[in-house]
Structure 1
């Protein structure tokens, strides 16, 4: 059998690098989201043990997102400075430690402190992981690869409600945090052992935009607003649906948890489809986000009024599927357009918007459920769909317009030519 040509061998090697990177990042994001989701399944038991109101339970979730949001942009700057792989690995190890320590919480105050520390540890991970991906993929495969990776978020939302209640019933709520921490340690070892080195297809940018310019970029903050709207829906539903089904509808946790796996399966598929659409459209995210969020808003309005299990399952599945179609398109233009040296800080601004929603949505819904009803709490989620759809219209739809809007016009020290696309 003849030996492959050097170009063919290089292609095989490049494909292997992408596949290995995708598998490892998928695994890291999977345990990242498992570690976040377990608190939602544990909240009913935690609320009973520490005698917490729904508002206080919402604060337990929001404490994580407060710290997580605060660390988004510094984490991106650190990843750009010290390298995505190194920052990602240390973040994984640190948050696994605080996940384990959550299992030893002895009071409401201790729980808040530990979840805050957990958020600080995870804060640098998103931007670092995106930087790792960008350094090992080409433009034409980037969003499809990221769609597969980020479908891990929804897979975690499938696995956690199925497995966590079994552990809670058998061994208590603390056991799920210890179990998740052990898996996180194993994933960190795999990342350290098998993550490939960056490829040479990432061209050093012909210009260097000062970080302060990136931070002051109004266009990136508009993309952050889209992510805020998207995550209002995601974190609001995932936090409170198990409690609603358990406390208001009388379902045992072992039934309520798996019921939430149904919309999560739809979200996993929608995230992958959204990634492929993003690569095919080369941006133009409003073509996906506006109709997707319109459908999500309608489904959420119906969900807030439904009184049947079947109606809740159908409406939540439609809402989550539609919203998840928008996930990858939010990142499509920035990830295709940002210079590699600024992918970390640029993507962290967008991520900040999402984590701000994670801080606001669970707490706001908890207060609404306490003072009014769960119907009012679920109705609040429509606000997220509206924000995402509106802001999608007021953001650049391609690389050329993104770069023109991001770089200060008239600055002669900045070359506005976009980075070359690699095949």
Structure 2
């Protein structure tokens, strides 16, 4: 039970109850905007890579690390951040993260215009700390500030902030660069976080992400020893690994195996993350409404879709068929991503929900970091994408297997 659910007078007054609900969704909107701003800031260098390489006289590897360093920071910092969120005033944590995002944006601009690559990397590390804090806080708080029967819906909507932020960064970056220079992309996207924090603060979020007393070491140990938590965390790892593999390598694959140009391939592949706006936000609605709050059927169905799509990549030819597989894979993998953060927090005591969410984040982002690198190594070693797609098929099969045995939250209680 959250602080908003407590108190007899509130329960007997429908108007006050509706007001609390409205404020809860305002908090979700603020967290969504903050996360989208951080995601746009994260992907911004990828949208202006040629300009960045020319402007700073660096190669592709150095340019690529300006994105990867934020993932690496998130993997390392996620669990400590989650533990802190379970012990900290949520308003202060989100406010500090929002401020850090603004600082990272301004710092990045100064470093970029001053041709200071090392300083720019350091600024991106600060941005990574901000992003993982906002993501963990958002995935936790979104399920706290609304009614329990809307929890998965709220968290699913929140997770759609990531693909929206990526799309904003990819498409908006060149536009900002054309008007104000490529370095201006950093503060431009970071500044959107100020709008998000204003919405968040206006909603009057609860003091803590969890409820009751802060967790002790024994409670934290139970999270790390919880097999159900690790099962859902691995489901997140597989989903993020598949997501980043296809997102990273499909433009090249389509260019090499079809008559499409790189620009045309990129436009088609842009649909892959974009479909996440529907899949991620719809995952909670589907689970809450069609399956009465059960989580396993939705995740299992998501991986069955991904399995079908990845098998299709091995046998189909032609742009329409490949695009259909890409669309199916994008929908399935993000249907799973949209639900795992609700799923895992329901497997543990509410006082350690932030820790559980942070564990999923850390383990999942490790998959996101590793999968594109392993796929690239497979392509380089074999000279084709077949082994990489076989690897993706293995991940999808593993996802189906894990989803089959994953417990429902009520079963693990």
Q: TM-score range by the shorter chain?
A: 0.7 to 0.9
**What CA deviation, in whole Å up to 9, does each residue of 1:393-414 have, x standing for no partner?**
3322232x323xxxxxxxxxxx
CA distance in 2, matches of 1:169, 1:370: 35
Question: Would you say the 8 A contact 1:63–1:359 is kept in 2?
Answer: no
Aligned residue in 1 for 2:369 = 359
Which stretch shifts more, 377-386 or 353-362? 377-386
1:19 and 2:19 are equivalent in the alignment: no
Question: Would you say the 8 A contact 1:62–1:359 is kept in 2?
Answer: yes
Aligned residue in 1 for 2:4 = none
Which stretch shifts more, 139-148 or 366-375? 366-375
Which stretch shifts more, 161-170 or 224-233? 161-170
Question: Once the 2 structures are TM-superposed, how far is the Cα of residue 184 of structure 1 from its aligned partner?
Answer: 2.3
Aligned residue in 1 for 2:59 = 52
1:276 and 2:285 are equivalent in the alignment: yes
Aligned residue in 1 for 2:36 = 30
Q: If each structure's helix is expressed as a fraction of its own residues, which one has the higher value?
A: 2
Superposed, which structure 2 residues align to 1:12-411 within 5 Å?
12-46=18-52, 50=57, 52-53=59-60, 59-103=65-109, 104-105=111-112, 106=115, 112-168=121-177, 172-192=181-201, 194-198=202-206, 204=212, 210-241=219-250, 251=261, 258-280=267-289, 281=291, 284-303=294-313, 308-373=318-383, 375=385, 379=389, 380-399=391-410, 401-403=411-413
Counterpart secondary structure, 1:124: helix
Question: Once the 2 structures are TM-superposed, how far is the Cα of residue 230 of structure 1 from its aligned partner?
Answer: 0.7
CA distance in 2, matches of 1:59, 1:119: 12
CA distance in 1, matches of 2:286, 2:261: 38
**What CA deviation, in whole Å up to 9, does each residue of 1:232-268 have, x standing for no partner?**
1222333444566789977465x55543442333221
Question: Would you say the 8 A contact 1:40–1:242 is kept in 2?
Answer: no
After superposition, the CA RMSD in angstroms is: 3.5
CA distance in 2, matches of 1:43, 1:8: 53
CA distance in 2, matches of 1:251, 1:44: 17
CA distance in 2, matches of 1:297, 1:98: 39
Counterpart secondary structure, 1:135: coil
Counterpart secondary structure, 2:142: helix
Aligned residue in 2 for 1:413 = none
Which stretch shifts more, 231-240 or 165-174? 165-174
CA distance in 1, matches of 2:250, 2:135: 25
Which stretch shifts more, 106-115 or 154-163? 106-115
C-alpha change, 1:337 and 1:215, in structure 2 (3 Å) is closer
CA distance in 1, matches of 2:287, 2:344: 11
Question: Would you say the 8 A contact 2:306–2:396 is kept in 1?
Answer: yes
Which stretch shifts more, 11-20 or 235-244? 235-244
Question: Once the 2 structures are TM-superposed, how far is the Cα of residue 78 of structure 1 from its aligned partner?
Answer: 0.8
CA distance in 2, matches of 1:115, 1:62: 10
CA distance in 1, matches of 2:384, 2:33: 34
What are structure 1's unaligned runs of at least 5 residues?
404-423
Number of aligned positions between the proteins: 395
CA distance in 2, matches of 1:16, 1:22: 10
Question: Once the 2 structures are TM-superposed, how far is the Cα of residue 158 of structure 1 from its aligned partner?
Answer: 3.7
CA distance in 2, matches of 1:57, 1:377: 27
Question: Would you say the 8 A contact 2:247–2:272 is kept in 1?
Answer: no
Question: Once the 2 structures are TM-superposed, how far is the Cα of residue 321 of structure 1 from its aligned partner?
Answer: 0.5
Question: Would you say the 8 A contact 1:135–1:340 is kept in 2?
Answer: no
Counterpart secondary structure, 1:330: helix
Aligned residue in 2 for 1:421 = none
What are structure 2's unaligned runs of at least 5 residues?
1-10
Question: Would you say the 8 A contact 1:14–1:199 is kept in 2?
Answer: no
C-alpha change, 1:65 and 1:376, in structure 2 (3 Å) is farther
CA distance in 2, matches of 1:238, 1:374: 17
